[in-house]
Chain A
């Protein structure tokens, strides 16, 4: 009985607080999503608090006394080939990688959504122009294009952001365009139009609220993808210039010492996988919570 009313509540009157509560209730139900959220919060805490406890020098200054040191009480993740503390490098590297990933996701979402919305709303020639250029743009494999951009602009924080944005905004153009196209043909938009609503009202109160869920879910899942992609770039030597620590670059170094110092591989690799996994768990949980129709 209780369950029944809870399920029916949001369909009646549109109330904001109850909507958020309802989403949270559905999110909580999925064990994976909650585990992902806890992991994500833990990772965030380590990355935020870490710098207060560990000086940055530990991550960048060479100290040959500790070259390839195994994990110990002093260096809990051990040291790398230059005697730098791996834990410090994982923490500082994670800050850069995740900051880049989150910012690049946001900027690609904004750029892509705007283009997609324009293509979807105006249709016709504008749509054709945007989509055809996009087809051409997407014919260059992402990694090569990003490499070219990073090469041309030089590797630093802002340019990496630009390169990743250019690689990922295309997803949003297609996503938002298709959302806008399907939603504007839906029955309730037709009903609203028949009831005399203007375009602005339809966009603001029917199309955006309904498209936002899909975009949020996609954005969350994209953060994980960009974290992986960014680590790939830095693995290839196209990330932040050394000695700034980054997960991918750490793994590129670890390859040389794989036989004698496998800990150099284990910790950054686990950091990447755990972060991506927890973001994916949260993303999947959000998808099920925001849009019960999509749940298969």
Chain B
């Protein structure tokens, strides 16, 4: 068991290295001229060349990459922004926290809406408890987060005028973005929970339990739920991916100063250090959540537990 967890944690190192390598490589496809951006367009060419040389921008790719990772790991140094000339990490960190708050609030909401409805609809298959949420989930699968966001904006800001349309600060600012981004993954969670439940309900051990006279409530809670919810844990963890996508969109739509809106804004200015650092930091968080999901899974799934305890 601990061997499995240790192995999984050790795999984190190549993963994070790989992730940074991919992002760094993609961002280095197009040649840039950082000196021109940092020093301004009017600087003499000799100065620019000297500055690029000092930054080590003309070094071979691998050398630059190794240096980047070393600076990142040792001093949390992601370079300086081309636009604001500030330290990238200091600029990103407060916005990173906002994006994470938004995304995790979204994961929580999506699970809170999707899973109970999924259970309810699987238990009451073919009743209104099943058809109405299923229909809704079907339609929500066709709504991108930003369309939902626009509709919410229209209803709550322009029509009812009860929620602020942009910015951060109070909890009220988070309601619309969180709702807009959590509904599509909630629909996914719903569908997933429902099909997982239905699969468990049809198992032989459920029939046996019913046949030997276990009360229906106990069958659902003890026999079905316990097995059906195992894969749902992974699904909820994975939904973080679509929520990060949603968060980027919601940040633009509701002018939330998060990392997504920062990256989108800086793409126009070709502010590479910010884009690279933002992408890497979000990916690391995503990787850590996946690791957590795997570890939780190992604890709650007796099959995995058994597999690793028997081996020794």
- List residues of A whose CB falls within 8 A of some B CB: 132-133, 135-137, 139-145, 147-149, 151-154, 224, 228-229, 231-232, 235-238, 248, 251-252, 254-255, 258-259, 262, 265, 269, 272-274, 276-277, 280, 296
Contact = CB atoms under 8 A, between A and B. Distances in A.
A44 B283 CA distance: 38
B297 to A, nearest CB: 15
B142 A280 contact: yes
Given A151-B267, A280-B142, A140 B195 contact: no
A147 B145 contact: no
Interface residues of B, number: 49
Contacts of B144: 228-229, 231-232, 235, 248, 272
A137 B264 CA distance: 22
Interface in B1-25: 14-16, 18-19, 22-23
Contact of B264 (A236, A248, A273): A236
B142 A273 contact: yes
A125 to B, nearest CB: 16
Given A139-B15, A151-B275, A296-B198, A144 B142 contact: no
Contacts of B275: 147-148, 151
Contacts of B268: 237
Contacts of B153: 255, 258
A136 B146 contact: no
Contact of B150 (A132, A143, A258, A277): A258
B147 A251 contact: yes
A152 B249 CA distance: 20
B158 A258 contact: yes
Nearest to A235: B146
A2 to B, nearest CB: 27
Interface of B: 14-16, 18-19, 22-23, 26-30, 138-139, 141-147, 150-151, 153-154, 158, 195, 198-199, 241, 244-245, 248-249, 252-253, 263-264, 267-268, 270, 275, 278-279, 282-283, 286-287, 290
A235 B154 contact: no
Nearest to B184: A228
Contacts of A142: 241, 245
Contact of B29 (A132, A143, A153): A153
Q: Chain B interface mostly helix, strand, loop or mixed?
A: helix
Nearest to B283: A140
Contacts of A152: 26-30
A144 B249 contact: no
A214 to B, nearest CB: 15
Given A148-B279, A277-B139, A136 B27 contact: no
Contacts of A276: 141-143
Contact of B26 (A148, A228, A248, A272): A148
B234 to A, nearest CB: 13
B98 to A, nearest CB: 16
A237 B142 contact: no
27 contacts: A132-B14, A136-B18, A136-B22, A137-B18, A139-B283, A140-B283, A140-B286, A142-B245, A144-B283, A147-B279, A151-B275, A152-B27, A152-B29, A228-B144, A232-B146, A235-B144, A237-B264, A238-B264, A238-B267, A251-B150, A254-B150, A262-B154, A269-B147, A272-B147, A280-B141, A296-B198, A296-B199
A232 B245 contact: yes
A-B pairs, 6 with minimum CB distance: A136-B18, A276-B142, A143-B245, A277-B142, A152-B29, A228-B144
Given A136-B18, A143-B248, A276-B142, 19 more contacts: A136-B15, A139-B15, A140-B283, A142-B245, A144-B278, A148-B275, A149-B26, A224-B142, A229-B144, A232-B146, A235-B146, A235-B252, A238-B264, A251-B147, A265-B154, A272-B142, A272-B144, A280-B138, A296-B195
A93 B221 CA distance: 50
Nearest to B247: A143
A232 B26 contact: no
Nearest to B240: A141
B287 A139 contact: yes
B18 A133 contact: yes
A232 B158 CA distance: 23
